[in-house]
Amino acid sequence: MNPPVRSRPSLSTLAALLFCLLLLPLAQPVSAAVDPKIDATLAALAEDPKTLRSALDVLAQSRDPRASRVLVALDEGRLTIAPGAVLIRTRDGQRVNAADGQPWTGAAGDAPAMTNAVRRVLASSIERARLRSEDRAERLGAARALNDRPSASAEPALRAALAEEQDPEVVTALKLALAPLDLDSPDKDKKLAALAVLANDGELTVLGRLQPLASGDDPEIRAAAQKAITAIGDRQWLRDQGANLFYGLSLGSVLLLAALGLAITFGLMGVINMAHGELLMIGAYATYVVQNLFRAYLPGAFDWYLLAALPVAFLSAAAVGWALERVVLRHLYGRPLETLLATFGLSLILIQTVRLIFGAQNVEVANPSWLSGGIQLTQQLVLPYNRIATILFALAVLVTVWLLFQKTRLGLRVRAVTQNRGMAAAMGIDTRRVDAGTFALGAGVAGLAGVALSQLGNVGPELGQAYIVDSFMVVVLGGVGKLAGAVAGGMGLGIVNKFLEPSMGAVLGKIALLGFIILFIQWRPQGLFAMKGRAVEG
């Protein structure tokens, strides 16, 4: 049920990314913040590789972006010294002059000898150079990296950086990196200050450091540590609830999309369409086919295949739905239980047909590039774009269907037939045609839902089976024949599900929810939003 969550970028990958960013501008000539001392040092180093040790000191003190590049390259073994120039090998294998960033065509030169002394100095110099860089993102990255794995050797660099840092976000990151180090300090005030910093912005990872302090001797420190632990816990809790809400909304939109078509047809005709899940599947496979066509014939516009998939999925699912209605369902009106069985048979046939055409295995549907990735709210909370898009998409579909029902002639007829079939027929509405049209519309909406599902999880012949019980539950919970019911049912189920999951586990949470629904309809057999009217019991 839960589509795999894209793994969130960790700090280390973030740092790696920053390193890559660092190397990108290498090809351009150096312009900003040129430090003449660097030119001199690099020139001296090119003359005599033995000056490396003293060159490191200069490089570590400089704010010139070239300095940190040289240090990183040295650390990663990409630095060579040729007669007349210090060279850096870029990721694509080119060599450039470290002094001016121009491509180098001469001899490759030799890697400098790395003595233990050089290595030791290098480790702290890199941090220092990055913390002093002109580039804000790099400073923030360096501070956060230290934050992740605090080391006493970086302390002087951190303090120096903190003393002159202006940017508030970097200041926070620096303070956070220093705080765990200060916790070890004998100075009580420093300890308390560090605890205050952690209480404000600390992450779960420092909890292990705080626990011993919370049971220490000094009552003041004990209280402060306790406060920090509570504050960190509370913050995490709030963040978890935020994440639950977001993922609940996202799941709710999926359920809403999946159940919307069902609610329309169920409300109108009083029949349960067990093949509804397969209409979702058809929508997802239509997306797959469109994707393959784009890949083969329009690779340039591949990113926009999803937009083309929407009408294709809508029309193909609507066509199948229309055919089902014409061939089978219309002969079964007034016999809801038989309809249920017949549509189940149809779903088996559709599943097997898809299996024969596309194979029993799941097929791969790629996210277009504008749907991969996400908004990083905090270091741990990422809102993936595909989930945000699902929420917006569900909203758009909902508004469209609502407008269709409320503002068009077709919608008027559909509502009339839903409320009182006999009376509508007496008023001259061709109820048979309305039935067929509405069924096709419901099926088309299911096809659109299939497009959304293809972006979130696996696409396989059994896709529909996974959603059908949930869709029914949405309809049962929300009540029949009202869009508001589908919205309340879908969102309610989605959000409650996500809030139950962390404490009960996915399966037990779902079981609890099903049990709840069974009890709920004791209380309100018509669902949350019942149709008002004098429906006669059969």
Partner 1 sequence: MHGIRNLHTTRGWVGFFVVAALLLVAVPVLNALPETSPLHVPDWLIPLAGKFCCYALVALAMDLIWGYTGILSLGHGVYFALGGYAMGMYLMRSMAGEGVYRSELPDFMVFLNWKELPWFWHGFEYFPFALLMALAVPGLLAFVFGWFAFRSRIKGVYFSIITQAMTFALMLLFFRNETGFGGNNGLTDFKRLLGFTLSEPSVRVALYWLTALVLLGVYLLARAIVRSRAGRVLTAIRDAESRVMFCGYEPLYYKLAIWTLSAVLCGLAGALYVPQVGIINPSELAPAQSIEMAVWVAVGGRGTLVGAVIGAASVNGLKSVFTAVAPEFWLYALGGLFVLVTLFLPEGLTGLFRRLRRTRAAEARA
SS3 content of the chain, % helix, strand, coil (to 5): 70, 5, 25
Q: Is 510 in the site for partner 1 (CB under 8 A)?
A: yes
Q: How far is the CB of 242 from partner 1 (least distance, A)?
A: 28
Q: Closer CB to partner 1, residue 68 or residue 273?
A: 273
Q: How far is the CB of 510 from partner 1 (least distance, A)?
A: 6
Q: Which residues, 6 or more positions from 91, have their beta carbon under 8 angstroms from its beta carbon?
A: 20, 23
With CB under 8 A as the rule, give the number of residues binding partner 1.
Answer: 45
Q: How far is the CB of 442 from partner 1 (least distance, A)?
A: 16
- C-alpha Rg value of the chain to the nearest Å: 32
Tokens of 135: 């580039």
> What's the burial of 217, exposed, middle or buried (CB within 10 Å: 0-12/13-18/19+)?
exposed
What CA–CA distance (Å, rounded) separates 388 from 45? 53
Compute φ and ψ for 338, nearest 5 degrees: -65, -40
Q: How far is the CB of 467 from partner 1 (least distance, A)?
A: 12
Q: Is 537 in the site for partner 1 (CB under 8 A)?
A: yes
Q: Is 11 in the site for partner 1 (CB under 8 A)?
A: no
Q: Is 525 in the site for partner 1 (CB under 8 A)?
A: yes
Tokens of 382: 């990422």
Q: Closer CB to partner 1, residue 368 or residue 442?
A: 442
Q: Closer CB to partner 1, residue 108 or residue 337?
A: 337
Q: Is 300 in the site for partner 1 (CB under 8 A)?
A: no
Determine the distance from the C-alpha atom of residue 5 to the mean position of all C-alpha atoms in its chain, rounded to a whole number. Answer: 7
Q: Is 436 in the site for partner 1 (CB under 8 A)?
A: no
Site string for partner 1, 468-507 (x = CB under 8 A): -x--xx--x------------------------------x
Q: Which residues, 6 or more positions from 79, have their beta carbon under 8 angstroms from its beta carbon?
A: 70, 73, 86, 87, 88, 89, 98, 111, 112
Q: Closer CB to partner 1, residue 138 or residue 278?
A: 278
What CA–CA distance (Å, rounded) separates 192 from 198? 10
CA triple 148-152-158, angle to 5 deg: 75
Q: Closer CB to partner 1, residue 297 or residue 523?
A: 523
Q: How far is the CB of 352 from partner 1 (least distance, A)?
A: 4
Determine the distance from the C-alpha atom of residue 533 to the mean position of all C-alpha atoms in its chain, rounded to a whole number. Answer: 44
Q: Closer CB to partner 1, residue 331 or residue 532?
A: 331
Tokens of 322: 């229309």
Say if CB 199 and CB 206 are below 8 A apart: no
Q: What is the DSSP letter of 103?
A: B
Binding segment for partner 1 among 48-56, 310-318, 419-427, 516-524 (CB under 8 A)? 516-524
Q: Closer CB to partner 1, residue 74 or residue 254?
A: 254
Q: Closer CB to partner 1, residue 40 or residue 337?
A: 337
Q: Closer CB to partner 1, residue 296 or residue 519?
A: 519
Binding segment for partner 1 among 70-78, 141-149, 375-383, 512-520 (CB under 8 A)? 512-520
The amino acid occupying position 373 is: G
Q: Which residues pair with 97 in a beta bridge?
A: 87
Residues 356-395 that bind partner 1 (CB under 8 A): 356
Site string for partner 1, 164-193 (x = CB under 8 A): ------------------------------
Q: How far is the CB of 356 from partner 1 (least distance, A)?
A: 7
Q: How far is the CB of 326 from partner 1 (least distance, A)?
A: 13
Q: What is the DSSP letter of 203?
A: -
Q: How far is the CB of 361 from partner 1 (least distance, A)?
A: 15
Task: Please identify which residue in 162, 196, 517, 535 interacts with partner 1, judged by CB under 8 A.
Answer: 517
Question: Which one, of 145, 140, 182, lies nearest residue 161 by Cα?
Answer: 140
Q: How far is the CB of 6 from partner 1 (least distance, A)?
A: 25
Q: How far is the CB of 1 from partner 1 (least distance, A)?
A: 10
Q: Is 519 in the site for partner 1 (CB under 8 A)?
A: yes
Q: Closer CB to partner 1, residue 344 or residue 499?
A: 344
Give helix 219-269 / helix 463-478 axis angle, nearest 10°. 90
Say if CB 82 and CB 49 are below 8 A apart: no
User: Could you give the dihedral angle defined by the CA atoms of residues 257, 442, 336 and 453, in that order, rounded to the nearest 10 degrees?
Assistant: -30
Say if CB 194 and CB 224 are below 8 A apart: no
Residues 448-467 that bind partner 1 (CB under 8 A): 465
User: Could you give the dihedral angle defined by the CA atoms of residues 392, 396, 399 and 400, in that order, rounded to the nearest 10 degrees?
Assistant: -170
Q: Closer CB to partner 1, residue 61 or residue 526?
A: 526
Residues 319-358 that bind partner 1 (CB under 8 A): 328, 331-332, 335-342, 344-349, 351-352, 355-356
What CA–CA distance (Å, rounded) separates 371 from 422? 48
Q: Closer CB to partner 1, residue 156 or residue 515?
A: 515
The DSSP secondary structure of 109-139, one letter per residue, reads -BPPP--HHHHHHHHHHHHHHHHT-S-HHHH
Q: How far is the CB of 318 from partner 1 (least distance, A)?
A: 20
Please say whether the dihedral angle defined by the alpha carbons of residues 158, 163, 166 and 169, taken in this order, is positive or negative.
positive
Q: Closer CB to partner 1, residue 272 or residue 483?
A: 272
Q: What is the DSSP letter of 537?
A: P
User: Could you give the dihedral angle defined by the CA atoms of residues 251, 256, 257 and 259, in that order, rounded to the nearest 10 degrees?
Assistant: 120
Site string for partner 1, 258-287 (x = CB under 8 A): ------------xxx-x-------------
Residues of the shown chain interacting with partner 1 in the complex, contacts defined by CB under 8 A = 270-272, 274, 328, 331-332, 335-342, 344-349, 351-352, 355-356, 465, 469, 472-473, 476, 507-508, 510-511, 514-515, 517-519, 521-523, 525, 537-538
